[in-house]
Structure 1
Amino acid sequence: MALIQSAPIALGTPLKHFSLEDPDGNGLSSKTLFGKGGFLLAVMCNHCPYANAVWKRLVAVAEFAKKLDISTVAINPNIHPNYPEDSPAHMRDKIAEMGIFFPYLIDEKQEVAQSLGATCTPDIFLFDAEQKLYYHGRIDDNWRDESAVKEEELREAIMLLFSKQEAPKVQHPSMGCSIKWIDTVTG
């Protein structure tokens, strides 16, 4: 799998609200999911080794964020016949395997990923209470080895957001597999 970086996106960009379904067919809206303190949105999938390396860390950060009234949602834009591991049925398996307690939603038409400017899995977006992009970067400084992490950048951004400070000046891009865009992936 080729490693690519997330695209630069201007801080302050407003969230384009959306409604998506979870793997059980329940419709959920970002407007009702948005936390009082902010909204952590992770573009993830099941098959990408980079996403798989950080799922547990994302769940841990989401637990921390929840205590600060910042809600978390993950979306999967890789619903594609060439990637059966990313099917809704496998999403249910991933939810159970990783203990995902927040919504993991199906972005089958890839409209939410496109509206965000997402390019890879994982691609992490943190919005402030005014629904504007506050942080767009990686979870931490070592996707390969959690025991070697020195900087937990997403957790630090959440603490800054909670304490109503300016967003981190340096935001390193997330890295992962490219999103499997429906119009560009062939059998």
Structure 2
Amino acid sequence: MPSLMLAEGVLYALILAPRRNHVTLTCSNQANRTGIGNFWLVLALAWAGLLVLSAGCSRVPSLQNGSPRTSELTGLQDLNGNGVDPLPPDSTNTTVFVFVSTDCPISNRYAPEIRRLHEKFAPLGIRFWLIYPSASELPGAIRKHLEEYQYPCSALRDPRHELVKRTQVRVTPEVAVFVPGPKLVYHGRIDDRYVDFGKERPAPTRRDLLAVLTSIASNQPVTNAPVPGVGCYISD
């Protein structure tokens, strides 16, 4: 709209304004004036066309299909201190984030279950990441933790809680599952083994993460509602 208004202003200045100061001309001068007028008319129309074209082009999105897109997650680090974005926009894999802590007893009790789920679903193309959200847990301690509990997954640190906030997790252990998009389809507990602090069932009656991954592997919609986990709170 501003470009069209500018074009109208140009037309007025080049064509209409001179006519307000019109004087009587001889035939020769009239012919010259007519030729000059036609020249200015063509120039004004061409200029207006360029302005309209420019206005139309400005509405085209700056990112076209196939253009590079910036990473959305910039604060996560691998154990060598390198930045990692585990959720690139063009990812075609389902991604599972398991939030853990080296010194949380409940979190550590789930290591065998995480190993079983990884063994079952990783061959189907589902990617597992262990996320350590505590800034005080340094790479050396994390490497020792991975070895002690025989975790087969890659580990990332989230010291700025960038992924914690995006996934809405509150405690360790909790999980977040993203399908390609990326789109968050589940976050919360792994299962219902722990009812409360100090209250543990002999075996879980609902395996939430297993149900979510089974639905995804079967190309079925995820219908599991988020259920908060029981564990160690992730401090700010």
Q: TM-score, normalised by structure 2?
A: 0.60
Report deviation, 1:121: 0.9
The structure that has the greater radius of gyration is: 2
Match of 1:8 in 2: none
Deviation at 1:36, TM superposition (A): 3.5
Deviation at 1:18, TM superposition (A): 4.4
1:129 is aligned to 2:184: no
CA distance in 1 between partners of 2:80 and 2:150 (Å): 16
How far apart are residue 31 of structure 1 and its match? 3.7
Structure 2: state its 5+ residue gaps.
1-71
Does the 8 Å CA contact 1:18/1:112 hold for their aligned counterparts? no
Deviation at 1:74, TM superposition (A): 1.5
Matched with 1:68 is 124
Partner of 1:77: 133
* Distance in structure 1 (CA, Å) of the matches to 2:124 and 2:201: 23
Of Structure 1 and Structure 2, which has the larger fraction of its residues in strand? 1
Query: Quick one: which amino acid aligns to residue 169 of structure 2?
Result: A
Deviations 1:52-73 (A, max 9, x none): 1112212221222212211011
Alignment of 1:14-33 (within 5 A): 17-18=73-74, 20-31=76-87
Count of residue pairs brought into register by the alignment: 161
**Structure 1 counterpart of 2:158, from 84, 103, 107:** 107
Please name the residue that 1:56 is paired with.
112
1:5 paired residue number = none
AA aligned to 2:153 is F
**Displacement after TM superposition at 1:127 (Å):** 1.1
Aligned CA RMSD, in angstroms, stands at 2.5
Structure 2: how far apart are the matches of 1:39 and 1:62? 11
Point out where structure 1 has 5 or more consecutive residues left out of the alignment. Answer: 1-15, 81-85, 182-187
1:173 lines up with 2:228 in the alignment: yes
Deviates more, 1:57-66 or 1:39-48: 57-66
Percent identity of equivalent pairs: 24
Structure 2 residue matching 1:168: 3-state secondary structure: coil
Match of 1:117 in 2: 168
Residue of structure 1 in register with 2:148 after alignment: 97
Deviation per residue, 1:60-99 (Å, 9 max, x gap): 212222122110111111123xxxxx33211001111122
Q: Show CA shifts across 1:149-178 (max 9, x none).
A: 233221121010111212124443222111
Contact 2:107/2:231 (CA < 8 Å) preserved in 1?
yes
Q: SS of the residue aligned with 1:46?
A: coil
Residue 215 of structure 2: aligned partner: 160
Q: Deviation of residue 128 (structure 1)?
A: 1.5
TM-score scaled to structure 1, two decimals? Answer: 0.74
Larger relative contact order (C-alpha < 8 A, sep ≥ 6)? 1
Shift of 1:19: 5.5
Cα separation, partners in 2 of 1:170 and 1:27, compared to 1, 3 Å: closer
SS at match of 2:191: coil
Alpha-carbon distance between aligned partners in 1 of 2:115 and 2:200, rounded to the nearest angstrom: 16
